[in-house]
Amino acid sequence: MSLKIQNSISGTKEVFQPIHEGRIGMYVCGPTVYSDVHIGNCRTFVSFDIIYRYLMYLGYKVRYVRNITDVGHLEGDADSNAEDKISKKARLEQIEPMEIVQRYSNGFHDIMRRFNTLEPSIEPRATGHILEQIEMVEEIIKRGYGYEANGSVYFDTNKLIQEADIYGKLSGRKVEDLLVETRDLKNQGEKRHPSDFAIWIKADERHLLRWNAPWSDGFPGWHLECSVMSTKYLGERFDIHGGGNDLKFPHHENEIAQNYGACGNTPANYWIHSNMLLLNGKKMSKSDGNNITPTELFTGDSDHISKAYSPMVLRFFFLQAHYGSTLDLNDTSLQAAEKGYQRLMEAYKTLLELSSANPKSDSPVAIEIEQTIQAAVEEMNDDFNTPKALARLFELIPTINKLSDGQLNVDDAGQYALDLAKKGFEDLLFVVFGLKKETEDHNGHMDQLDGLMKLVIDMRQQARENKDWPTSDKIRDTLNEIKIDLKDGKDGTSWALKA
């Protein structure tokens, strides 16, 4: 039984073989910290957290590098004078770019903690690696894959295409299409070819983030930071590179090109791409309002949902889909996830209450439990298939309930069977899936609060039926004072914490 990974570069599921036995180097593209993370970003980072956790569960020593992008990510193409996202936000708010970076990095870390994701081993920032980026640009030029034009430096994609059959492989784009792809770009004249991309960008007067380099006072292209920071911390060739699948082109394709240009080889053996989170069947987008933040989900303060959902319910919701499939977030599926999460945690609680004086290890129940847990692990070995692994755990719930209500005799099953089930649940639920009991959430107690609010809503309903308006108004007003909103809808009254 060995781990198989769907490798985006070959398009096939491959048996995983690390470069160095027992150790894994994994690089995942992190957030661009110019605004709050949206729940789609969170899905991607939770997916890689589960992959990281599972690799460690298998016994590997993993160095997990996830960067922070704090310079170079433009709102469009470098050659159309598009503005850097962080520099623009700082300009508009009239504060230091590093204040923007600090604010949204803090916000990102807070949200990641609420989702119970593990911290990466190294979290390097692009602005902390400018020297290394300048050195890589120099190396790319020296090896003939880059050229300077008017203070900016471009990667010569045409040269790469002539010399190696790698450009376009990851994203499945045809080289001919890449070569003829033209856009009406302002500085098109600087580039030898439309598919060439900037690796060093001369800063215009607006640009707040700039460094002195041999070609100009400027800043590095976005793709360059990941080539530099991955090779710096993991070596020129490492095991796994991940990110959302919207990064395949141009970001990852260009990263591969840069690594080849600077080091003569492609960086990672396995490329893992997670799929997009949709909202009500459509791609999440800030501009058309089809967007929801983690905080809105945790408080219930959004028109897209009828109530608050806790971080662990959302984590469970993510687990119910394979990382490589799209996942649609809507109120109905979140309610189902909440029920599923509670059912699983309830089964674990029931399991903890069971004990037996019989130590025997070969009872039919013990065999059933052992095989089912083993099957769940095998599902994880099949390209981290969390929905199928979860389904295996659900298969054990009827047995746990029968042991609890006496339909199955606990002493016939034996303590060994109970211990196996507990260990299996704990390993998978807590260690690998990263779930935790909601009451452990320091911001949480959501289930108690939800129960309390149901009681308050019932009492208000009773007061209204009795036409006791002073009491019903008092309930609403007092809740309002403590920042709890009541929403009266056709399906009854729901509540939300005000953000």
Query: What is the identity of the amino acid at 357?
Result: A
267/230 Cα distance (integer angstroms) = 8
**C-alpha R_g of the chain:** 26
Part of the chain binding ligand AMP (CB under 6 A), chosen from 27-35, 401-409, 425-433, 468-476: 27-35
Is 31 an interacting residue with respect to ligand AMP (CB under 6 A)?
Answer: yes
Phi and psi, residue 310, nearest 5°: -80, 160
Judged by CB, which is closer to ligand AMP: 424, or 434?
434
Of residues 230-269, which lie at the interface with ligand AMP (CB under 6 A)?
243-244, 246-247
Q: Which does 32 bind (CB under 5 to 8 A by kind): ligand AMP, Zn ion, none?
A: ligand AMP
Part of the chain binding ligand AMP (CB under 6 A), chosen from 16-24, 37-45, 191-199, 442-450: 37-45
Structure tokens at 377: 């692990």
Phi and psi, residue 203, nearest 5°: -80, 135
Say which DSSP state 182 is in: -
Q: Which of 77, 76, 71 is nearest to 89 (CA)?
A: 71
Is 74 an interacting residue with respect to ligand AMP (CB under 6 A)?
Answer: no
Residue 324, classed as helix, strand or coil, is: coil
The alpha carbon of 496 is separated from its chain's Cα centroid by a whole number of angstroms, namely: 26
Structure tokens at 23: 């150790």
37/461 Cα distance (integer angstroms) = 38
CB of 325 to ligand AMP, least distance (A): 11
Judged by CB, which is closer to Zn ion: 141, or 226?
226
Q: Which does 248 bind (CB under 5 to 8 A by kind): Zn ion, ligand AMP, none?
A: none
Q: Which of 274, 279, 282 is nearest to 294 (CA)?
A: 279
Using alpha carbons, list the distances in angstroms from residue 435 to 310, 391, 424, 431, 442: 12, 15, 14, 8, 14
Using alpha carbons, list the distances in angstroms from residue 310 to 179, 294, 357, 447: 48, 9, 38, 9
Is 32 an interacting residue with respect to ligand AMP (CB under 6 A)?
Answer: yes
Judged by CB, which is closer to ligand AMP: 29, or 373?
29
Judged by CB, which is closer to ligand AMP: 187, or 386?
386
Among 46, 111, 178, 226, binds Zn ion (CB under 5 A): 226
Tokens 């790698």 sit at which residue? 166
Part of the chain binding ligand AMP (CB under 6 A), chosen from 28-36, 94-102, 113-121, 173-181: 28-36
Structure tokens at 127: 């602005």
Is 29 an interacting residue with respect to Zn ion (CB under 5 A)?
Answer: yes
Residue nearest to ligand AMP (CB): 244
Judged by CB, which is closer to Zn ion: 67, or 117?
67
Q: Which does 226 bind (CB under 5 to 8 A by kind): Zn ion, ligand AMP, none?
A: Zn ion
Part of the chain binding Zn ion (CB under 5 A), chosen from 201-209, 219-227, 426-434, 466-474: 219-227
Is 74 an interacting residue with respect to Zn ion (CB under 5 A)?
Answer: no
Sheet holding 282-283, edge to edge: 282-283, 277-279, 327-329
Query: Residue count at the site for ligand AMP (CB under 6 A)?
Result: 14
260/244 Cα distance (integer angstroms) = 22
Structure tokens at 397: 């719930």
CB of 243 to ligand AMP, least distance (A): 4
Judged by CB, which is closer to ligand AMP: 207, or 273?
273
Q: Which does 382 bind (CB under 5 to 8 A by kind): Zn ion, ligand AMP, none?
A: none
CB of 246 to Zn ion, least distance (A): 12
Helix locations, 169-282, DSSP H: 175-180, 222-234, 253-263
Q: Which of 231, 234, 244, 242 is nearest to 270 (CA)?
A: 242
Is 44 an interacting residue with respect to ligand AMP (CB under 6 A)?
Answer: yes
Among 5, 284, 421, 446, binds ligand AMP (CB under 6 A): 284
- Extract the runs of DSSP E, i.e. beta strands, from 266-326: 268-274, 277-279, 282-283
Phi and psi, residue 469, nearest 5°: -65, -35
Part of the chain binding ligand AMP (CB under 6 A), chosen from 25-33, 193-201, 406-414, 457-465: 25-33
Part of the chain binding ligand AMP (CB under 6 A), chosen from 24-32, 191-199, 228-236, 380-388: 24-32
Is 276 an interacting residue with respect to ligand AMP (CB under 6 A)?
Answer: yes
Part of the chain binding ligand AMP (CB under 6 A), chosen from 29-37, 128-136, 198-206, 211-219: 29-37
H or E segment and range at residue 119:
none
Is 40 an interacting residue with respect to ligand AMP (CB under 6 A)?
Answer: yes
Contact footprint for Zn ion (CB under 5 A) = 29, 226
Query: Where along the sequence are the contacts to ligand AMP (CB under 6 A)?
Result: 29, 31-32, 40-41, 43-44, 243-244, 246-247, 276-277, 284
